[in-house]
Structure 1
């Protein structure tokens, strides 16, 4: 399992200050064995033996960092509880996928979002659903229309282009959702459009 360099660096700094492996593992959501391996491999390069005594200042700094991490984890747990109430399992798997691509361990991401690792890997191995494929196709078309309007069209104008210009049946809510996911938004309502009419469809 891959871990981000930042997570490993934080763990090693705290271990080097003399904090027990068990405490660090609990605070960072890591396995004890992983920390033992990192300590054996990397701590000598920090200029300190794994068993060398630590200064009181180092220990105080390490314990302060542990307290901060525990507070952050507590807040994260609460956020995950709230997310579970509003996100379907499929959307949570999507969130795990994004977090994993950013370097967070799947085990940690899955635990935070209240899903299982096995469930995530099963979800990832499935082919895209017809709905996902349609949304991907619509997003690409919406992006083209938005670019052709010089970024001025909001979801209502784009919905009109899709339904009247392209003959596509789609709801306002879906267009708004896909634009939000793609990071697209229109110009303010009172800003004049540089285009005359639609003129975006073949």
Structure 2
């Protein structure tokens, strides 16, 4: 099944087609899509804007979400009904795990049952492997003794409880006592609720490229950067992701604000187009590429982050040169009145000129699209 085009790309193609400067066939050819596909996009855009009757994407998504929610509510109600009957028999706290097995046999997902009953899937699967371990028995004895000590002296915290347990002959470390007391709400009556501490930001990645801007296969090394440009309405920012192997821009996003979401959107578009595996994503040390969202997207898709040094533009020179190329060929050509005008000009230059018309000596005088087409076997691998 072919991969869907990014929503941002579809909007830009529709905007270019509506300008009427070229025929639909020419616009479809310039952007590498079929004419029927472009016609469908235009039809759906008219439906979304209300100029043509039909079911909008929002209505479809809302209906799908309502069906999912209805199914989830029915499952949750069944879980609560069965749980009320189950615990009415006086089942022990850990005996809620067999209920998960019974509900799973009836087609209710384990994750939903665990969430409704208030415990993790990991705890359930661990119990499945060893329903009653020796550690559980020892913890039960420790908790019972700790409750007795705390009932006699409510001012005792876990440190005093640990000392008392040692005198009673129990062998357990202080950290273990602290964990058990915390899980069962055994605190000193004088203790204050601990406050939250600020977590440090995501760490800076190591430089995995070391100024070697070459690649032997597709999706081996990606470069990314953000460039800003002025219009009469204000600044416009573009974040692009380039594959070093073919110099193709595999993902980009354009917005009027330079936030972490801009970098995340560009990388997400590149992932949707290329489905990379173990790809190095190299950037500078901008805060957008250090953000928690960007690092999480890298981790969730098996990508490796890489960063150059502070104030060392040569560490990302190949991407900097592409930004300069965009500057000379589009941005410096005229004064741009609106952000939308500049946006469409950048999109047309990337998709029509840079990808399909501008030959590069480093690619044996081929364009990025021609180079990838001739090496389709490597791209498929």
TM value normalised by structure 1: 0.38
Largest Rg, 1 or 2 = 2
- The structure richer in strand per residue is 2
More RCO (CA 8 Å, sep 6+):
1
- The structure richer in helix per residue is 1
